[in-house]
């Protein structure tokens, strides 16, 4: 048996998330169907993170075990010939049997994109949240977010339905920057709770619009006031950028391959 790792991009617009489920089309299901066509037997895949319905991935990491004569670096080309254009394999490599896409990851990186322009933009509407009612104060948002760095209990930023035993996780870094009318929120953490990033963004937008103060924002998550955290950002603005490991598994990819800079007039 060989263990193969994949670096996967997908447009989550028309998928019910990563994980297989009944009566819904998911990325995992489509990928495993393609692997069945190659190997002629069922192949179980494991991902670095489970994205929700409508969430995208620019560098999702997946592994699977297979008894097949294909060399590991051939799976990317073969799979891309079978997959829809909304799912692309950027690279495939053989890895050690002990390596795991999820458990070997040091941290994950999510990015949320807000279009703060007065006008919607057709070319980025599928991958951003058009929040135009007020000009957001991204500096205020960044300052409010800084206290979340470190290990904390983020119970207030967890949607119901999670099967985790606790809501403690470690945020390694948060960065919020504006490029013209686009605001990029980058969060790196050892793990993410169900719905965590979208709930954080929903609250930070309220801070940026001066609807709540940074102190109220902090009070809500520190004191686990889940009932006060009602606003959740839409899925389409969220992207799983990549997972980071102690050793660089994929050799042919640079940062711009994960999440390219928007080269749109007025947004670059």
Q: What is the CATH number of the domain that holds 177?
A: 3.30.70.660
The single residue listed with the structure tokens 């997959």 is 83
Residue 165 is part of which domain span? 107-240
**CB neighbour list of residue 182: distance below 8 Å, 6 or more residues apart:** 113, 114, 115, 116, 124, 128, 262, 267
Looking at the fold, whether 156 and 235 belong to one and the same domain comes out as yes
Looking at the fold, whether 89 and 181 belong to one and the same domain comes out as no
Domain count across the chain? 2
Question: How high is the pLDDT of residue 89?
Answer: 96
Looking at the fold, whether 203 and 127 belong to one and the same domain comes out as yes
Question: How high is the pLDDT of residue 256?
Answer: 62
pLDDT, mean of residues 220-246: 95
Active-site residue, selected from the candidate residues 52, 65, 153, 175: 52
Question: How high is the pLDDT of residue 262?
Answer: 53
pTM, to two decimals: 0.92
More confident residue, 68 or 9: 9
Closest by CA to 198, choosing from 207, 209, 187, is 187
Question: How high is the pLDDT of residue 266?
Answer: 43
In whole angstroms, what is the distance from residue 188 CA to residue 144 CA?
16
Looking at the fold, whether 234 and 118 belong to one and the same domain comes out as yes
Q: Which of 103, 131, 146 is the last residue of a domain?
A: 103
Using only C-alpha atoms, the chain has a radius of gyration, in whole angstroms, of 19
Asked if 67 is an active-site residue, the reply is: no
**Mean per-residue pLDDT of the chain:** 92
Buried b / exposed e across 209-244, counting CB within 10 Å, b at 16+? beebebeebbebbeebebeebeebbbbbbbbbbbbb
Instruction: Give domain status of residue 264, yes or no.
Output: no
Element holding 75 (H helix, E strand): helix 75-80
Closest by CA to 192, choosing from 114, 113, 107, 99, is 107
**CB neighbour list of residue 267: distance below 8 Å, 6 or more residues apart:** 121, 124, 179, 180, 181, 182
pLDDT, mean of residues 96-109: 95
Question: In whole angstroms, what separates CA 24 from the centre of its chain?
Answer: 20
Question: How high is the pLDDT of residue 265?
Answer: 41
Strand 105-115 relative to strand 87-95, pairing: unpaired
Question: How high is the pLDDT of residue 261?
Answer: 59
Q: Looking at residue 33, which CATH number applies to its domain?
A: 3.30.70.580
Instruction: Give domain status of residue 233, yes or no.
Output: yes
Looking at the fold, whether 112 and 232 belong to one and the same domain comes out as yes
Looking at the fold, whether 226 and 168 belong to one and the same domain comes out as yes
**pLDDT tens digit sequence for 33-44:** 999 999 999 999
Percentage of the residues of the chain whose pLDDT score is greater than 90: 80
pLDDT, mean of residues 155-174: 89
In whole angstroms, what is the distance from residue 89 CA to residue 10 CA?
9
pLDDT, mean of residues 48-67: 94
Q: Can you point out the beta strands (E) in 116-236?
A: 129-130, 150-153, 168-179, 182-189
pLDDT of 264 over the 50 cut: no
pLDDT, mean of residues 126-141: 95
pLDDT, mean of residues 165-189: 94
Q: Which long-range contacts link 28-37 to residues 24+ away (Cβ below 8 Å)?
A: 30/83, 30/84, 30/87, 31/62, 31/79, 31/83, 31/87, 34/79, 34/82, 34/83, 35/64, 35/66, 35/79, 37/82
pLDDT, mean of residues 46-55: 94
Structure tokens at 203: 């609250």
pLDDT of 255 over the 80 cut: no
Looking at the fold, whether 206 and 126 belong to one and the same domain comes out as yes
Looking at the fold, whether 60 and 130 belong to one and the same domain comes out as no
End-to-end CA distance of the chain: give it in Å, rounded: 46
């Amino acid at each position: 048996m060989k263990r193969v790792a994949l670096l996967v991009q997908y447009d989550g617009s028309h998928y019910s998330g990563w994980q297989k489920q009944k009566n819904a089309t998911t990325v995992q299901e489509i990928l495993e169907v393609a692997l069945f066509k190659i190997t002629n037997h069922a192949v179980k895949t494991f991902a670095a993170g489970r994205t929700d319905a409508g969430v995208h991935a620019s560098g999702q990491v997946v592994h699977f075990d297979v008894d097949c004569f294909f060399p590991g670096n051939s799976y990317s080309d073969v799979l891309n010939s079978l997959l829809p254009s909304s799912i692309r394999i950027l690279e495939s490599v053989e890895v050690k049997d002990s390596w795991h896409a999820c458990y070997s990851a040091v941290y994950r990186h999510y990015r949320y994109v807000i279009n703060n322009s007065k006008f919607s933009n057709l070319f980025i509407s599928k991958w951003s949240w058009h929040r135009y009612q007020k000009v957001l104060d991204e500096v205020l948002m960044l300052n409010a977010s800084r206290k979340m760095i470190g290990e904390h209990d983020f119970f207030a930023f967890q949607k119901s339905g999670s099967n985790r035993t606790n809501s403690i996780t470690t945020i390694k870094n948060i960065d919020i920057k504006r490029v013209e009318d686009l605001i990029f929120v980058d969060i790196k953490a050892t793990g993410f709770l169900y719905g965590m990033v979208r709930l954080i963004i929903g609250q930070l937008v309220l801070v940026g619009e001066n609807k709540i103060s940074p102190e109220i924002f902090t009070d809500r998550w520190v004191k686990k006031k889940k009932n006060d955290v009602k606003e959740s950002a839409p899925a389409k603005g969220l992207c799983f950028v990549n997972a980071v490991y102690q050793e660089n598994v994929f050799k042919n990819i640079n940062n711009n391959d994960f999440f390219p800079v928007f080269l749109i007039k007025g947004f670059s």
